Structure 1
Amino acid sequence: MNVDQALSLLKEHGYKFTGKREQMLSVFAEEKRYLSAKDVLTALQTDYPNVSFDTVYRNLSLFEDMEILEVTELEGEKRFRFHCSTDRHHHHLICLDCGKTKQVHACPMEWINGSSDEEFEVTGHKFEVYGYCSSCSTAAEV
């Protein structure tokens, strides 16, 4: 997903184009990591000093509902990033320091589906691995 694709998707679904929405999406295009609502609010306040947390969170929720953004929870807080452009099923490695993510194409559900429990129907899942990327773990050693 990128800014133009996201704006087109919003337009297709009847949502207005606004400078704030475009700038919010641009923040995600510039950052290749999960961002909190506070991160987004801080980035917008330079151009929109009166933007409210409610406005940011309402738009983040809209973007999540439209699958423009993916969401995870880190340290008890929702974090967002652009939805991956691949349609291939995958999961993520997430750096706890810088927030950088890396796609992982192996899936533990293959094991669970293979042992199929007839009393439980899986309708979705999420698998994330947390740790430190090579840059952050090297910096911590210095």
Structure 2
Amino acid sequence: MNLTQALDVLKSKGYKYTGKREDILRYFTSENGYRTAKDLLEYMKKTYSSISFDTIYRNLYLFQELDLVEVTELDGEKHFRIMCNSTEHHHHFICLDCGNTEEVKGCPMKEVEQQLPGFSIENHKFEIYGKCPTCKSA
């Protein structure tokens, strides 16, 4: 998802457009990977010196509700990223050092469904964690 698409969704759902919201979305559209609320706060403080974690989290959860950002949990902390452009079902490799992500095509759910006959699976999340080539060689 790019910045224009994200702002269009925000406006079409009747939410107020603000410079802070645009800057938060700009941050995520410029990053390749999951980032924490603390990362975002540090970025936003350059422009908005008095911005609070409350403002950051309120907007992050709104953006999650509107499917503008995805969320995962790493080491007990929520990490956020802009929603993928891909229309095909996929999963992600997430670098544990830098947070960068790579799309992983395919899904292991067919095998899982075969192992759980009679169960009704309503949703799933599959992520692969490790180190990207840059972090691995560092």
Q: Which residue of 2 aligns with 1:127?
A: 126
Identity level (%): 51
Please report how far the alpha carbon of residue 14 of structure 1 lies from its aligned counterpart in structure 2 after TM superposition: 0.5
Tell me if 1:49 matches 2:49. yes
Equivalent position of 1:25 in the other structure? 25
1:113: Cα distance to partner?
2.1
Q: RMSD of the TM alignment (CA)?
A: 0.9
Q: Which consecutive segments of 4 or more residues in structure 1 shift more than 4 A?
A: none
Deviation at 1:114, TM superposition (A): 3.0
Match of 1:88 in 2: 88
Amino acid at match of 2:11: K
Give the superposition deviation at 1:116.
4.4
Partners of 1:117 and 1:55 lie apart in 2 by 45
Question: TM-score scaled to structure 1, two decimals?
Answer: 0.94
Structure 2-normalised TM-score?
0.96
Instruction: Confirm whether residue 40 of structure 1 aligns to residue 37 of structure 2.
Output: no
Q: Please tell me the residue identity of whatever aligns with 2:5.
A: Q
Name the structure 1 match of 2:7: 7
Residue type matched to 1:69 in 2?
V
Amino acid at match of 2:130: G
Give the total of aligned pairs.
138
